[in-house]
């Protein structure tokens, strides 16, 4: 496994307060590959669902993605699982459980790209069959972010992939799960795309074309108990 540090420029995340400190996941991405004849396989994400379960000072995430190989080319693709950190720092290695078509896969490379926001990128090599659909299941835990003058607001974020990957999405689901002992008062669910917010969670669905406004999703709230949240104290 290779660890590298690169320096790049980046813009702050959308729908996140400027004073926030936050680590958030990015929708996974599979890079197209070619064969010896120069032909390229094309993988399209058709379904993506993600869940964040709020547990005090952390959020436990689980996601499912389906990728369709629309060609008769088989081979090995590069899968990227990324996280971004805005004014927070990663502070610790992010442990990710990844299953590709129900088989455990391990990263071949980990990169930390220093910017604002900085990025933590895990790269995998995964087998792709001809004209097949492959599933990707991810599980990981991240610290819940903080914002506000008194640092009393809590928030999580979820960044979607570029429009080139999401244009083939048939179904997208995002849920935030919690109970009254965790969330005292919801503040916002952004962007305004039809979120359903209740006492035990928030839910968003988008079918067909994904809105251009959905580059970054965020959920902000006041917790039932106060105190600084996240790595580093």
| Residue 216, phi-psi category: left (phi > 0), alpha (psi -120 to 50), beta (remainder) | beta
Residue 199 lies in a domain: yes
Residue 228 lies in a domain: no
Encode pLDDT of 157-166 as tens digits.
Answer: 999 876 556 5
Sole residue written with tokens 């988008």? 206
Residue 24 lies in a domain: yes
d(Cα 226, Cα 233) in Å, to the nearest integer?
A: 13
Range of the domain at 35: 2-223
Of 197 and 209, more confident: 197
Band (4; pLDDT cuts 50, 70, 90): very low
- Check pLDDT > 90 for residue 221: yes
Residue 233 lies in a domain: no
Q: What's residue 92's pLDDT?
A: 65
CATH of the domain at 109: 2.60.40.3680
Pairing of strands 58-69, 133-143: antiparallel
Q: How many distinct structural domains can be found in the chain?
A: 1
Residue 170 lies in a domain: yes
Residue 232 lies in a domain: no
Band (180; pLDDT cuts 50, 70, 90): confident
User: pTM, whole model, 2 decimals?
Assistant: 0.86
């Amino acid at each position: 496994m290779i660890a590298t540090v690169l320096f790049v420029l980046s813009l702050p995340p959308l729908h996140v307060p400027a004073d926030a400190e936050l680590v958030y996941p990015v929708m996974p991405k599979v890079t197209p590959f070619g064969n010896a004849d120069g032909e390229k396989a094309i993988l399209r994400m058709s379904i993506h669902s993600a869940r964040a379960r709020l547990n005090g000072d952390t959020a436990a995430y689980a996601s499912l993605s389906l990728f369709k190989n629309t060609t008769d080319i088989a081979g090995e693709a590069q899968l990227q699982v990324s996280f971004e950190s805005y004014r927070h720092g990663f502070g610790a290695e992010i442990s990710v459980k990844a299953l590709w078509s129900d088989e455990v896969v391990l990263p071949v490379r980990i990169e930390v790209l220093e910017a604002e926001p900085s990025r933590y990128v895990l790269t995998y090599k995964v087998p792709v069959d001809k004209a097949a659909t492959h599933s990707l299941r991810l599980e990981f835990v991240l610290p819940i972010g903080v914002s506000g003058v008194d640092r009393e607001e809590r928030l999580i974020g979820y960044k979607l992939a570029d429009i080139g990957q999401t244009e083939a999405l048939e179904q997208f689901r995002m849920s935030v799960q919690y109970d009254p002992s965790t969330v005292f008062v919801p503040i916002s669910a952004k962007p305004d795309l039809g979120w359903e917010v209740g006492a035990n969670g928030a839910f968003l669905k988008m079918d067909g074309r994904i809105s251009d406004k959905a580059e970054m999703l965020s959920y902000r709230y006041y917790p039932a108990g106060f105190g600084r949240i996240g790595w580093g104290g």
